[in-house]
Amino acid sequence: MTDEYERQKATRQQKAREWQPGEPLPVIAYTEEEDALWETVTAKLGSLHAEVACANYRRAAEAVVLHRHRVPQLAEVSPVLTGLTGFHLRPAEGTVPAKDFLGAFADGGFHATQYLRRPDSPYHSPEPDVLHELVGHAVMLGDPVFADLYRSFGEAARRVSTPEAMRDLVHVFWFTIETGVVYEGGRPRVCGAALLSSVAEMESLDKVELRPFDTADIVAQDFDDTDCMPVLFAAESVDHLVAEVQRFLTRL
């Protein structure tokens, strides 16, 4: 199974590597087993979203409707995002260097992988996969408030000129766009793509140490992006999160 998984992954990575801007997005021949995995995981995620996802995400999910019984193609989702917020998807071979990944947001571009997580780890993936990209990022990119925040990160990524500033930018991005939490009705709600696409992360939300949202504390907090987060930062609201991040980006 491992050999077959790696073979399929390599094939999809090659398609992304060979793709050129202006060409149609690559179409992936997902297997019946992968479609079944997608269906199982997204069903579980959907029930968790109803309980712990922020209101912005739940509204966006009504506009960015992902197929529930098979893995959607990037080519199906990208034009939906373009119509909603002007964003579009670009195929990614794997993890993209931070300056390129974040910088693409300034032009409304999002680099998305097209391989699916390992079948023996369905509820948490240590690397970005198509489920993370679509269920997490693509839906959030359908929300105008968060789409604008992505763009602001992109503009900042193109502006910074030192490794230290890029490191700080990546830390704030991680604890907002990837693992962001906000309070709604007095309860913590998830707004980060890495949390929204992980059953394990959302199920353990009540065991996480939630600290007040403070960008100075965030840039000082180390993290391991291959494992569930023991510490998260919770903003008072989406508006509070956006205001604090924009203040940080302006100073950067």
Q: What is the pLDDT along the chain (252 residues), one digit of tens a residue?
A: 568 899 999 999 999 999 999 999 999 999 999 999 999 999 999 999 999 999 999 999 999 999 999 999 999 999 999 999 999 999 999 999 999 999 999 999 999 999 999 999 999 988 899 999 999 999 999 999 999 999 999 999 999 999 999 999 999 999 999 999 999 999 999 999 999 999 999 999 999 999 999 999 999 999 988 888 999 999 999 999 999 999 999 999
* Catalytic annotation, pick one of 93, 178, 201, 244: 178
From the candidates 78, 125, 152, 197, give the one annotated as an active-site residue: 197
Which one from 88, 137, 198, 201 is the annotated catalytic residue?
137
Catalytic hit among 78, 93, 132, 133: 132
Let me know if 164 is a catalytic residue. Answer: no
- Read off the DSSP letter of residue 106: G
According to the model, what pLDDT value does residue 2 have? 64
Active-site residue flag, 88: no
Q: Domains in the chain, start-ordered, CATH in brackets?
A: 2-251 (1.10.800.10)
32 is catalytic: no
What digits encode the pLDDT tens for the residues 162-176? 999 999 999 999 999
pLDDT at 77: 98
pLDDT of residue 164: 97
What's the pLDDT at 3? Answer: 84
Q: Residues 35, 72: contact at Cβ < 8 Å?
A: no
| Strand partners for 234 | 181, 212
User: Which candidate, 85, 59, 69, places its Cα nearest to that of 184?
Assistant: 59
Residue 133 annotated in ligand binding: no
Asked if residues 152 and 245 have their Cβ atoms less than 8 Å apart, the reply is yes
Annotated catalytic, 137? yes
67 labelled ligand-binding: no
pLDDT given at position 226: 84
Quick check: 66 and 136 in contact, CB under 8 A?
A: no
Task: Establish whether 137 is an annotated binding residue.
Answer: yes
131 neighbors 117 (Cβ within 8 angstroms) = yes
Q: List the alpha helices (DSSP H) in 25-135.
A: 32-52, 55-63, 74-85, 98-103, 130-131
pLDDT at position 218: 98
DSSP annotation of 136 reads I
